[in-house]
Every structure is written in C-alpha cells, then in structure tokens.
Amino acid sequence: MIIGDSETVSSYKNQWDRFFDKFGYRDKITKIRDFYPDQKSLLIPYQEIANFDNDFASSLKENPAICIRAGEDLIKSFLESTKDFESKRINIRITNLPEKDCNVEIRDIRSDRIGKLISVSGIVRKNTEVLPRIQLAVFQCSKCASLTALEQSRGKLEEPVKCESCGEERPKVRFKLMPELCEFVDYQKIELQENPETIEGGAQPQRISVVLEDDITGFIFPGDRITIDGILMSEQKRSGNLMLTEFITHLYALNFSKETKEVETLNITP
Ligand SMILES: [Zn+2]
C-alpha cells in the first residue's frame, strides 16, 4: 500500500471533495454505487481537473498514486456514510492525459518518469489470463483465533506484525491466511511493444509490461494497437533472496483506448 504523509493526503482529499462538488461528480458516484458491480469506475478527464485547479492537476501528474488513492478513499467514506453499501472500492480512472507532458515513446522512458502519469502507445504482443489477486487479506491469529485484515499491494504477501485483538506480535504468534475471507481483484499483465513506424533503421523494438486491474481486464488481445494511460511503477530486482540496486519498471494502467475503431471499454453513464 502506498501512503503519503497524512498532511498531503488530507489536502488531496479536500481538493477532491471540492472538485466533486463543483463538477457534479456526487451524482455520478451515487449512480455507480447503484449499478455496482456492473460499474466500478469513475472516469475523470484530466482537463476538468486542470480547469478546476491547475496546482491540483500538477499534483495529480507528479504524484498520481497517492493523489488517486486519496480520492478513492474519499469516495469510499462518502458512500459508506450515505447508504448501506458494502465497502467495495470504486476506481478513479483519469482519461485524456495532456499529450505534451505525458506522451512518451517506450524507448524514451527514463527514471525521471517513475511514479508519474504517462501515456504510451504500441502493439500488444502477449497477454496473460485474467487472474485473481488478493486486495484485502484476512489472517487468523494462532493464539486467540481472532481475525486481522490487511490491505495488500502487488507482489509479496504482507502479514500483520501484531494481532489487533490480543496484541501479541510475530514471531510469538503466527498468522494464517484465510483465503475464503479475503477480497480479490481481477489482475492481468500484457506486453506492449513500440509501434514499428516509430523505430529507426534496424533497431530492436522495445517493450514494457503493463498491469491492468479490475474492470479493465480481459479486453486487450495480442495484435491490438492501443494507448495506455497509467502510472510508471518501479520494482527492485532480486537475485534469490538478495535485493539488488537495479529496478525494473512497468506501467500500472488507469485506462486504455484501442486504435482503428472506437471501443467503449467502460460502461459509465455520463
Ligand atoms: Zn491474537
């Protein structure tokens, strides 16, 4: 889980709150709630946020993971306070990123883009099946048998340090994962290769891995020409148990569009 310092997060939440009010998003959010889980995402064009507040739009571009997360948490608490609603997550998906700042060729992606919003085009070479990933893990304490829930990021399963009920800590107690109580999200990985017309001479085409989650999985196939808006993420390389100093990058998709024909990928009422 990515956490910003609490001051930053609460200032983002305030901004989202004002933005949702001013641009009529409260109604859209309650509509999504009414159609959940057929609808799971709130689409927001980047330009609307820039029209609302340029500084906030810059924060979104520079610090998207924490900023979007703050907005999603705000939506969650808003929905929980209005009506009996299972505390499921609604995704914020930013669309129409500004070309000048965000468009980048796969071969030109450098470390200064890590953590930022980018937009990348190419041809899909491979896709994985859509598989479940644990989003909220539930563990049982070996001492008192009570349950502790822990939100999970992608990668290694994180166990609780301490039992919320008896207060005992690892390794004095052990925590057993309870798969039947966990919440899962759909997860898919694709390999995106740069468009041949952007490659000069006999250069090898370069690729980037893209991770898609939840309601945007299952729509992309090898051969598709697509543009993905997302967040450039980095992961530390490892050799066995040793963590290395090099990192590999992948793109965490916020949304995608297919070329050649207009495909309505998400069924959101305007
Ligand atoms: Zn316990």
Show the domain range for 46.
Answer: 6-95
Q: 34 or 236: which carries more pLDDT confidence?
A: 34
Ligand 1 centroid, distance to 88 Cα (angstroms):
26
Ligand 1 centroid, distance to 138 Cα (angstroms):
13
pLDDT in the model for residue 41 = 96
Note whether 121 and 227 are same-domain residues: yes
pLDDT in the model for residue 94 = 96
Note whether 240 and 138 are same-domain residues: no
Q: Is residue 253 part of a domain?
A: yes
Q: 19-23, 32-36, 67-71, 225-229 — which is least confidently predicted? A: 32-36
With bands split at pLDDT 50, 70 and 90, how would you rate the model's confidence at 40?
very high
pLDDT digits (tens, 9 = 90+) for 176-211: 999 999 999 999 999 999 998 888 887 889 999 999
pLDDT digits (tens, 9 = 90+) for 208-230: 999 999 999 999 999 999 999 99
Note whether 57 and 113 are same-domain residues: no
Half-sphere exposure (Cβ direction) of 155: Cα atoms closer than 13 Å: 11
pLDDT in the model for residue 266 = 53
The CATH number of the domain where 167 resides is what? 2.20.28.10
Note whether 116 and 237 are same-domain residues: yes
- Collapsed DSSP state (helix, strand, coil) of residue 75: helix
Burial of 194 from C-beta contacts in 10 A (0-12 / 13-18 / 19+): buried
Ligand 1 centroid, distance to 169 Cα (angstroms):
8
With bands split at pLDDT 50, 70 and 90, how would you rate the model's confidence at 158?
very high
Crossing angle of helices 6-22 and 64-82, in 10° steps, is 60
Ligand 1 centroid, distance to 146 Cα (angstroms):
6
Ligand 1 centroid, distance to 150 Cα (angstroms):
14
Q: 16-30, 81-95, 99-113 — which is least confidently predicted? A: 81-95
Q: DSSP E strands: which ranges in 56-141?
A: 91-95, 117-127, 131-141
